Chains A and B, each alone.
Chain A
Amino acid sequence: MRLTAVAYGLLALFALGVPLLGIYPVFMMQLLCLAMFACAYNLLLGFGRMLSFGHAAFFGAAAYATGWLVTAHAWGPGAAIVAGVVVAGLLGLAVGALAIRRQGIYFAMITLALAQLVYFVCLEAPFTGGENGLQGVPRGKLLGFLPLKSDVVLYYVVLAAFVAVFLFIRRVVHSPFGQVLKAIRDNEPRAISLGYEINRYKLLAFVLSATLAGFAGSLKALVFGFVTLSDVQQSTSGEVILMTLLGGTGTFFGPVVGAAVVATLQQYLSDLVGGWVIAIIGVVFVACVLSFRRGIVGELAAARWLRRAPPPR
């Protein structure tokens, strides 16, 4: 327990000191957005055992909504982020309501199909900029006074948002609702036999996950100043699965580690090997599934747990 506290402390110091350490803040912001996205995904997969193949739809739809409102309607960044999050939540409600009627691979296929639908809407709609996406999204001033144009200011805003989401997910998992969600994850028929209408709980989990994924997407739109089709694309849905599995599903910090590894590989390896980075990430993924299924954080936690106490008889 103390080791974890020390690790979190060091990490917090590092995160606060990033602008002083000469690390490119935009890269760190990208990492934080991806980490937030992965944490949101993990809420669904790790604690609700629902495998979505379409989470980019929520991430991307929120990014488009925020980007469009800021660019075409001159909304402030705060209101535009809230709007993006609401769009993602409503979309999550619609997709979730259909998908939770099925389980396992069928659930995944429904999310995939509906996400493709969202992708085509983003491609064809008159306000999304088609193949070009939305370019030149201004960052504006948060609450009318915080100039987000400065990378350092925006970095701290994104960091604060990430920490808030991280703590929020912890709370959700450790809430009365979280208890029921874990029970449903563990044994659906048993939860039903105890009187729970399990679909309502699954739907709430789905909407929460979609909403937080949307928050990550909205922030990303402001960080980069553009929104493109890649934000709603199938490959982005795949990437978030990869980050979550690599880091460790059902652990709190796993998705953050997964996002950091994937983002770092993409950032630094692509300079060295170009397009091969996709192949390398693929190999890493296969290695993860074959040899450390619990993910990086999951395996570390399991190793620590084994050393600590033998199971009771």
Chain B
Amino acid sequence: MAATVPPTADEYILETRGLTKEFSGFLAVSNVDLKVRRGHIHALIGPNGAGKTTFFNLLTKFLIPTRGAIIYRGRDITPEKPAQVARAGMVRSFQLSAVFPHLTALENVRIALQRALGTTFHFWRHQATLGVLDARARELLELVDLAALAGVVAVELPYGRKRALEIATTLAMDPELLLLDEPTQGMAQEDVERVTALIRQAAANRTVLMVEHNMRVVSTIADTITVLQRGQIIASGSYAEVSRNPQVLEAYMGSADTELENAH
């Protein structure tokens, strides 16, 4: 595999080339060339309906692109299946909280760890054999401040806690590239701050690509920002660059008069 790695593979962990998704004539994602630099926190912003979530679903193979290619770690993953992509280290979260509601918080995290044991098809073994994973699962719960609620069934957790649990579960996969779909959506302010800190912490040794609406979050933690509008990239760069771009201001405010900061 190493022989086929193009020179950019080290610098950019993920790249899309001319990525396009058409829904019966409607271009949801149009010819997007995006490069995600290894180790960065890269934010994807844009008004509602800009195609951010569709783009995410394309990256993680939940949708099949009409045209274009997705290169992950120098390898073309366009024809691969979603679970394959996840196993390769590109793990996503979902816009609405994605926990396993009838499993406990501990079991939720353990599901992500369990595959490593190679016993996931063993229907004759007792689940007590999964106990060896509990220590690691508790560590991850500790990280998101959920250790005290390890035994609680996920459906009973409040919303903010569910999102935290989801992040812990995602981190359990030890992904190289973390895709977060609106991680702070619908959260109270103190939860937003906690999750922001958590993302920053998680990004210490991995790359993060996130869709996010909250400009305060984006401006504080994102290294690079890409702005999508009607399925197309209209700007890309640091917050300072992007927030002065007249096209971006136009897209958000309908006029180029105001600073982007006030958009949210």
Within 8 Å of chain B (Cβ to Cβ): is A195? yes
Cβ contact within 8 Å between A194 and B130: no
Within 8 Å of chain B (Cβ to Cβ): is A191? yes
- Given A182-B103, A191-B111, the answer on whether A196 and B120 have CB atoms closer than 8 Å is yes
Compute how far the CA of A198 lies from the CA of B83 in the bound complex, rounded to whole angstroms. 8
- Nearest chain A CB to B71's CB is how many angstroms away? 20
Cβ contact within 8 Å between B103 and A174: no
- Nearest chain A CB to B142's CB is how many angstroms away? 18
- Nearest chain A CB to B111's CB is how many angstroms away? 5
Compute how far the CA of A193 lies from the CA of B56 in the bound complex, rounded to whole angstroms. 12
Cβ contact within 8 Å between A193 and B149: no
Chain A residue contacts of B120, Cβ below 8 A? 176-177, 180, 196, 201
What residue of chain A has the Cβ atom nearest to residue B108's Cβ?
Answer: A183
CB-contacts of B75-100 with A (<8 A)? 81-83, 86-87, 91-94, 98-100
Cβ contact within 8 Å between A179 and B82: no
Partner of B100, one of A175, A190, A192: A190
Within 8 Å of chain A (Cβ to Cβ): is B152? yes
Cβ contact within 8 Å between A190 and B94: yes
Interface centre among B100, B111, B123 (most CB of A within 10 A): B123
Chain B residue contacts of A197, Cβ below 8 A? 81, 83
Chain A residue contacts of B60, Cβ below 8 A? 193
Within 8 Å of chain A (Cβ to Cβ): is B23? no
Cβ contact within 8 Å between A172 and B87: no
Within 8 Å of chain A (Cβ to Cβ): is B31? no
Within 8 Å of chain A (Cβ to Cβ): is B184? no
- Nearest chain B CB to A96's CB is how many angstroms away? 15
Within 8 Å of chain B (Cβ to Cβ): is A131? no
Cβ contact within 8 Å between A179 and B156: no
Compute how far the CA of A197 lies from the CA of B120 in the bound complex, rounded to whole angstroms. 11
Count A-B contacts at CB 8 Å. Answer: 107
Within 8 Å of chain B (Cβ to Cβ): is A311? yes
Partner of B91, one of A189, A193, A204: A193
Within 8 Å of chain A (Cβ to Cβ): is B67? no
- Nearest chain A CB to B124's CB is how many angstroms away? 7
- Given A189-B62, A193-B60, A312-B149, the answer on whether A176 and B119 have CB atoms closer than 8 Å is yes
Cβ contact within 8 Å between B121 and A195: no
Within 8 Å of chain B (Cβ to Cβ): is A124? no
- Nearest chain B CB to A47's CB is how many angstroms away? 10
- Nearest chain A CB to B148's CB is how many angstroms away? 9
- Given A176-B114, A312-B156, the answer on whether A192 and B82 have CB atoms closer than 8 Å is yes
Chain A residue contacts of B152, Cβ below 8 A? 312
Compute how far the CA of A187 lies from the CA of B62 in the bound complex, rounded to whole angstroms. 14
What residue of chain A has the Cβ atom nearest to residue B82's Cβ?
Answer: A192
What residue of chain B has the Cβ atom nearest to residue A180's Cβ?
Answer: B120
What residue of chain B has the Cβ atom nearest to residue A205's Cβ?
Answer: B123
What residue of chain B has the Cβ atom nearest to residue A194's Cβ?
Answer: B112
Partner of B169, one of A172, A194, A312: A194
Compute how far the CA of A5 lies from the CA of B41 in the bound complex, rounded to whole angstroms. 54
- Nearest chain A CB to B122's CB is how many angstroms away? 5
Within 8 Å of chain B (Cβ to Cβ): is A296? no
Within 8 Å of chain B (Cβ to Cβ): is A208? yes
Within 8 Å of chain B (Cβ to Cβ): is A308? no
Chain B residue contacts of A89, Cβ below 8 A? none
Chain B residue contacts of A196, Cβ below 8 A? 83, 115, 120
Partner of A193, one of B86, B122, B124: B86
Within 8 Å of chain B (Cβ to Cβ): is A178? yes
Within 8 Å of chain B (Cβ to Cβ): is A307? no
Chain B residue contacts of A191, Cβ below 8 A? 100, 111
Partner of B83, one of A182, A183, A192, A204: A192
Please report A residues at the B interface, Cβ cutoff 8 Å.
171-172, 174-180, 182-183, 185-187, 189-198, 200-201, 204, 208, 311-313
Sample of 12 further A-B pairs with CB below 8 A, known A194-B91, A194-B169, A196-B120: A171-B123, A174-B127, A176-B125, A179-B130, A192-B62, A193-B94, A194-B173, A196-B115, A197-B81, A198-B83, A208-B123, A313-B158
